[in-house]
Amino acid sequence: MELELEKLTLPSDNERPFVIAGPCSAETEEQVMTTARQLAEKGCHMFRAGVWKPRTKPGGFEGNGEVALPWMKQVKEETGMLVATEVATPEHVELALKYGIDILWVGARTSANPFAMQALADSLKGIDVPVFVKNPVNPDLELWIGALERINQAGVKKLAAIHRGFSSYDKKIYRNTPMWQIPIELHRRIPELPIICDPSHIGGRRELIAPLCQQALDLGFDGLIVESHCNPDCAWSDAKQQVTPDVLDYILTLLVIRSETNSTEGITLLRRQIDDLDNQLMDLLSKRMRVCREIGQYKKEHNMTILQAARYNEILEKRGAQGSLCGMSPEFTAKVFELIHEESVRQQMEIINK
């Protein structure tokens, strides 16, 4: 299925990417207004704040709900920034629209749930409001695309995706592992869909925001959504990952915006070399497959099983060691040879069962 999209204008200037900023949660009128004024002064284009907060455990701050919506309206009227908030139910959608919220986003816990997504989509029928869909908490690209499709089928054509990383049991550096290959693949599948990076929820820590922003820009993301709070240490949710508008401004000034055209000219020659090497790789692989089919024929004639476990282990070990010596990760080498082996087995099966 293809998405039917309309161009979404994401305001940005030459030296800076498009940025949505604002606190994790709309806590009090004062906190919302102070943060918003400071952000507007720094040239921020769009303000975010969670009015309804999905919390892992009950008892945490679950958002002010409708009470906070007039504050968002005030932000818009006073600063001219567009305002965005998270919606998870049809009731949220109705209330957000009633108070003039400009952009709705769907959170990671909601995009993981097709029932919730369908209910949201039904409530958005016939409404022309941009909707940004965060990736589901689990690393499932189809589920993410499915969530986007449901909203799109309801007639919403101004869509964007937000990459906020994926939940994992063993937390290492990141709160949510970025797994960049997933948003990259999303871009390959739906090139016209803007993708915005959320370094705050990926990193979970202030220090990680700057490097993650840079990485996102280097990968060609269309914008950033960053949590910013007038007094981060006292935030009622996600305190560790929020930065003041001042710090955010500083982070943004340090970002290097690389130009796509300039850099491509300089690397044309290198790209040609890559194409040439890829050709050789394909050629070698097809030769390898041909030998595998010959082995298949031999196995058939001698009544041998296709899978010779000892031989397979030998290949993995030999190539793993060789890969390490060349600076390639053992996981990478193992994956490549597992895939090659899988295809060889498939081809031998064809021969044996002929």
Q: Which residues bind ligand PEP (CB under 6 A)?
A: 24, 50, 54, 107-108, 134, 164, 201
Residue whose pair of structure tokens reads 């030459």 in the numeric block = 14
Which of residues 68 and 292 has its CB atom nearest to ligand PEP in the complex?
Answer: 68
Which of residues 63 and 183 has its CB atom nearest to Mn ion in the complex?
Answer: 63
State the nearest-atom distance from the C-beta of 46 to Mn ion, in Å: 16
Q: Are 223 and 184 in contact (CB under 8 A)?
A: no
What x-and-dash track marks residues 218-257 binding Mn ion by CB under 5 A? --------------------x-------------------
Q: What is the DSSP letter of 158?
A: -
Closest to 160 in 3D by CA, of 4, 8, 13, 17: 8
Distance CA 232, CA 343 (A): 53
Q: Is 27 in the site for Mn ion (CB under 5 A)?
A: no
Distance CA 73, CA 205 (A): 30
Residue nearest to ligand PEP (CB): 107
Q: Are 106 and 120 in contact (CB under 8 A)?
A: yes
State the nearest-atom distance from the C-beta of 293 to Mn ion, in Å: 54
Which of residues 64 and 344 has its CB atom nearest to ligand PEP in the complex?
Answer: 64
Q: Is 196 in the site for Mn ion (CB under 5 A)?
A: no
Q: What is the DSSP letter of 309?
A: H
Which of residues 137 and 193 has its CB atom nearest to ligand PEP in the complex?
Answer: 137
Burial class (CB in 10 A: 0-12, 13-18, 19+), 8: middle
Residue nearest to Mn ion (CB): 24
The CA-atom distances, in angstroms, between 80 and each of 39, 45, 73 are: 11, 8, 10
Return the H-helix or E-strand segment holding 134.
Answer: strand 131-134
Rounded to the nearest 10 degrees, the angle between the axes of helix 90-98 and helix 69-79 is: 40
State the nearest-atom distance from the C-beta of 164 to ligand PEP, in Å: 4
Q: Are 195 and 160 in contact (CB under 8 A)?
A: yes
Which of residues 195 and 292 has its CB atom nearest to ligand PEP in the complex?
Answer: 195
Q: What is the DSSP letter of 241?
A: G
Q: Is 26 in the site for Mn ion (CB under 5 A)?
A: no
Closest to 48 in 3D by CA, of 70, 75, 29: 75
Which of residues 121 and 292 has its CB atom nearest to ligand PEP in the complex?
Answer: 121
User: Segment near Mn ion (CB under 5 A), from 19-27, 188-196, 206-214, 327-335?
Assistant: 19-27
Closest to 200 in 3D by CA, of 155, 260, 157, 251: 251
State the nearest-atom distance from the C-beta of 136 to Mn ion, in Å: 16
Q: Is 86 in the site for Mn ion (CB under 5 A)?
A: no
108 binds, among ligand PEP, Mn ion, none (CB under 5 to 8 A by kind): ligand PEP
State the nearest-atom distance from the C-beta of 201 to ligand PEP, in Å: 4
Q: With CB under 5 A as the rule, give the number of residues binding Mn ion.
A: 2
Which of residues 53 and 76 has its CB atom nearest to ligand PEP in the complex?
Answer: 53
Which of residues 79 and 242 has its CB atom nearest to ligand PEP in the complex?
Answer: 242
Q: Is 24 in the site for Mn ion (CB under 5 A)?
A: yes
Number of H helices, E strands in the chain: 13, 8
Site for Mn ion, rule CB under 5 A: 24, 238
